[in-house]
Structure 1
Amino acid sequence: MEYEDLINLGIAFGLGMLTGLQRQHADSKMAGVRTFTLIAMLGVLSGMLSRVYDSPLIMPAFGLVLGGLLITANVIKNGRSDTPDIGQTTEVAALLMFAIGAYLVMGERMIAVVTGGALAILLYLKDKLHDFIEDLQEKDLAAIMTFAGISLVILPLLPNETFGPLDVLNPRSIWLMVTLIVGISVVGYFIYKFMGARAGTISGGILGGLISSTATTVSYARKTKESGAVHIMAAFVIVAASAVAVIRVLVEVGVVIPQHLPAMILPLLAEFLVLVGICVWIYLRMNRDDSVESVPEPKNPAQFKSALIFGLLYGLILLAVAFIKQEYGNEALYGLAVISGLTDVDAITLSLSQLMRQDRLEISTGWKLILLASLSNLAFKGAMAAVLGTRKLGRWIGISFGLGIGAGLLIIWLWPQNWHL
């Protein structure tokens, strides 16, 4: 007995029931839970028959028969109705479910399962997706189309080879990092679209860190000038956004050098926990009656000009890191990390990660430089908060970021090299 085939039948049964349940709940006249389950199992059996008889014609034959049945059912359904339904969602879903069943046997099981699950979720989210699309503004569409152009048009066209001095400038690699940063910003932007205007204090800090902790600092510092009573809550949001920015750095490192993440994650997580502890302390001191109006609405996160500037900045920092390391050694990189981190942690993080991926920079040095750049950015945001906000906000941020920077420097200085996952 082929237990793998039994497992495939069981998976097809489950995926078919899941999709059919949604279709029947949506009152589909074409197919419901039983029909979709049978279609998925038919796909598995057609794959088995094709494998047993070594014939490439069996699956297409079953697929054509299924297509004919769907066409016939569609004609009968619309012929009995005064208002014909021209939608093809159920028909396409049925054909896809047949293909998923066949792919369980002939292809990768994980891909088939993920596709089946995604199909069920997509069908379930129909109304929410329609509402979301109707609410899109012109700049939202511009963000989507620009990101599509950046990732799906420009990226594949760039050469995947190194050019220039020090052999570190790879156009495709550089643009891939641009795609990563723009993608993170776009995700944060559309999370804001879903909940930004209704975000509470904690959510405001999280969203601020995901979109831009620097922009969040500027916005909330200015709000304390308008209403000085909210300085403690503004301090909480600013520190929370900065804590989330550390997680953003970890995500970038994990995408570029996932194999080295276990050696780097603990000291960066330690700094994150320090900032979280400071957030808890501020939250306990906060007057719950205070309120900050809302998370500042971000600009279009996928502007081509901004993406191009980031790409140039990333390439320059990548070149500078390689040059300084070659000419002056690792010690000189600490100064570059401080300067680069003042306004943009992403570029220096990705540049250092690329060098670590190419084994041009030691992991034990790389995480220290990334953390130092993050601390430099904390100092820069603290200075902005002091200049743009009230004195009370300046004191809260000075104490909070002072503790965070002090803890980070101690981590860089004292963290044992053998403390890693």
Structure 2
Amino acid sequence: MLDLAQLRPLAFALAIGLIIGLQRGWQARTEPTGKRVAGFRTFGLLGLGGGLAALLPLPFGTVILTAASAALVVGYVRESNSSEYSATNTIAGILTLGLGAFAAMGRETEAMAAAAVMLLLLAMRHRLHHFLRGISAAEIEAASRFAIVALVILPLMPDKAYGPFDAWNPRQLWTVVVLVLALSFAGYVATRRIGPSKGLLVTAAAGALVSSTAVTASYARRLKEDGPAVPALIAGIALASAISYGRLLVLAALLATYALPTLAIAIVPAALVAVAAAWIVARRAQPQLHEGELALGNPLNFGSAFGLAAFVAALSVLSRWALDHFGSAGIGIVLLLTGLADVDAAVITLAGFPQQSLSPERAGLLLTLPVIANMSVKIALVLVNAPNRRGLTAALPLLATTLVTGLGAAFLALA
């Protein structure tokens, strides 16, 4: 009697072929009869054929799979002169054969998962092409650099403590540098993709993922002159500060989780104040205002990566020296001064401390110091770049968020 369980591998192989064939047949649905190279039935047969070949004795199965793959390649070569012919069908056919064989070998789950990913890639053809057309040469170069930073340099870093106070662990240090660069680069790409056509507020939000300080300075310079863009610029500055709070919370969650609860209690109210200020001011802005671009440098280059690593390495030694001589008050001074230049570096520095050296409450409170320092720098940038009533109006939300952060930290310190 036929055991249906024996047909299970072939059923999976056929299903894989039909899944891929459904997309390929739909893709060629507008082609006239006779012009469709392969579709629903053909790919179903390829999947089934791969499954059958896998069930045959090894020499015969290998010969059949090789011959079928060669036939697909020959067919592609013969038709490659046609401008409408794509190698995708050939590659998809060979993969369908292989996945059918893989499923018949008892690896149904892995084969179906691979088929699902393959189907997604095939279905996203137009989106992927549109995405590729929008990529600039600079972005390709930056992505290549990130691959070197994350996939070449990082694995070579030793996972061992070095230096004064054992402050330097190259692997941990470079890991957080990669993380910060990845977050900044994501914001940079988002800003490039969104562009000025989406409005000043959206551009400010995306740009703040790269550098809220750069957004603040850029928008403040445009506040020197009056015009219809003033409300949107002021709202953009407030929104950028709110996004910077969110970015800080994400970094703390990833790098210094133990400090997150206290930090969140201190700065979430400030972020809400910034969002509320942006919303109130934005109501007076023209909804489709999109004049001018936000100039942001590409954050992903070797100079910025090594610079951040060197900065954090120096801070790690300095902060440990301060802890050894002055206790947590010494760390607070170091982080406060660090915040004048870079809040990210302050988070990374604190994350490098052993958790037992600081209580979660103390660590969270210490991180509010660079936040206050950085906001003070932004207030100064606004007032220096726009020394007028408009600049003062733009600085008020930043001042409010700074005061709320300070009050929150003071409340937690006294509680």
TM-score (norm 2): 0.80
Could you say which residue in structure 1 is the equivalent of 2:169? 170
AA partner of residue 193 (structure 2): F
Q: Counterparts in 2 of 1:114-263, with a 5 A limit?
A: 116-257=115-256
Distance 1:408 1:112, change over 3 A: farther
Could you say which residue in structure 2 is the equivalent of 1:367? 364
In 2, Cα distance between equivalents of 1:131 and 1:405: 42
How far 1:251 sits from its partner (Å)?
2.3
AA partner of residue 206 (structure 2): L
Does residue 304 (structure 1) correspond to residue 295 (structure 2)? The answer is: no
Q: Secondary structure at the match of 2:195?
A: helix
Long gaps (5+) in structure 2: 30-35
Could you say which residue in structure 1 is the equivalent of 2:379? 382
Asked if the contact 2:375–2:402 (Cα under 8 Å) also holds between the matched residues in 1, the reply is: yes
AA partner of residue 350 (structure 1): I
How far 1:388 sits from its partner (Å)?
0.4
- Structure 1 residue ranges (4+ consecutive) displaced by more than 6 angstroms after TM superposition: 9-12, 37-47, 98-101, 103-108, 111-114
How far 1:20 sits from its partner (Å)?
4.1
Asked if the contact 1:275–1:404 (Cα under 8 Å) also holds between the matched residues in 2, the reply is: yes
Long gaps (5+) in structure 1: 51-56
Could you say which residue in structure 1 is the equivalent of 2:33? none
Could you say which residue in structure 2 is the equivalent of 1:320? 318
In 2, Cα distance between equivalents of 1:245 and 1:22: 43
Deviations 1:253-283, CA, capped at 9 Å, x for gaps: 2333557756755544443223222222222
In 2, Cα distance between equivalents of 1:16 and 1:330: 64
Deviations 1:122-153, CA, capped at 9 Å, x for gaps: 33343444444445444223312221221122
AA partner of residue 168 (structure 2): L
AA partner of residue 348 (structure 2): L
**CA radius of gyration, larger in:** 2
In 2, Cα distance between equivalents of 1:252 and 1:378: 17
How far 1:320 sits from its partner (Å)?
2.2
In 2, Cα distance between equivalents of 1:306 and 1:149: 14
How far 1:349 sits from its partner (Å)?
1.0
Distance 1:104 1:340, change over 3 A: farther
In 1, Cα distance between equivalents of 2:305 and 2:147: 13
AA partner of residue 372 (structure 2): L
How far 1:92 sits from its partner (Å)?
3.4
AA partner of residue 212 (structure 1): S
Deviations 1:4-59, CA, capped at 9 Å, x for gaps: x99xx88995x766654443333295554556567678889999x89xxxxxx87x
Count the aligned residue pairs. Answer: 405
Q: Secondary structure at the match of 1:234?
A: helix
Could you say which residue in structure 1 is the equivalent of 2:32? none
Q: Find the partner of 2:334 among 321, 333, 336.
A: 336
Q: Counterparts in 2 of 1:3-152, with a 5 A limit?
A: 13=15, 19-27=20-28, 29=36, 31-33=38-40, 65-76=64-75, 79=78, 83=82, 87-96=86-95, 102=102, 116-152=115-151
Asked if the contact 2:372–2:405 (Cα under 8 Å) also holds between the matched residues in 1, the reply is: yes
Asked if the contact 1:205–1:239 (Cα under 8 Å) also holds between the matched residues in 2, the reply is: no
Moved more, 87-96 or 374-383: 87-96
In 2, Cα distance between equivalents of 1:416 and 1:42: 71
Asked if the contact 1:185–1:211 (Cα under 8 Å) also holds between the matched residues in 2, the reply is: yes
AA partner of residue 192 (structure 1): T
In 1, Cα distance between equivalents of 2:133 and 2:108: 36
How far 1:219 sits from its partner (Å)?
0.8
Moved more, 258-267 or 170-179: 258-267
Deviations 1:180-224, CA, capped at 9 Å, x for gaps: 122122222222222223222331221121121111111111112
Distance 1:333 1:37, change over 3 A: farther
In 2, Cα distance between equivalents of 1:24 and 1:84: 19
In 2, Cα distance between equivalents of 1:392 and 1:30: 69
How far 1:313 sits from its partner (Å)?
0.7
- Provide the alpha-carbon RMSD of the alignment: 4.1
In 1, Cα distance between equivalents of 2:17 and 2:413: 53
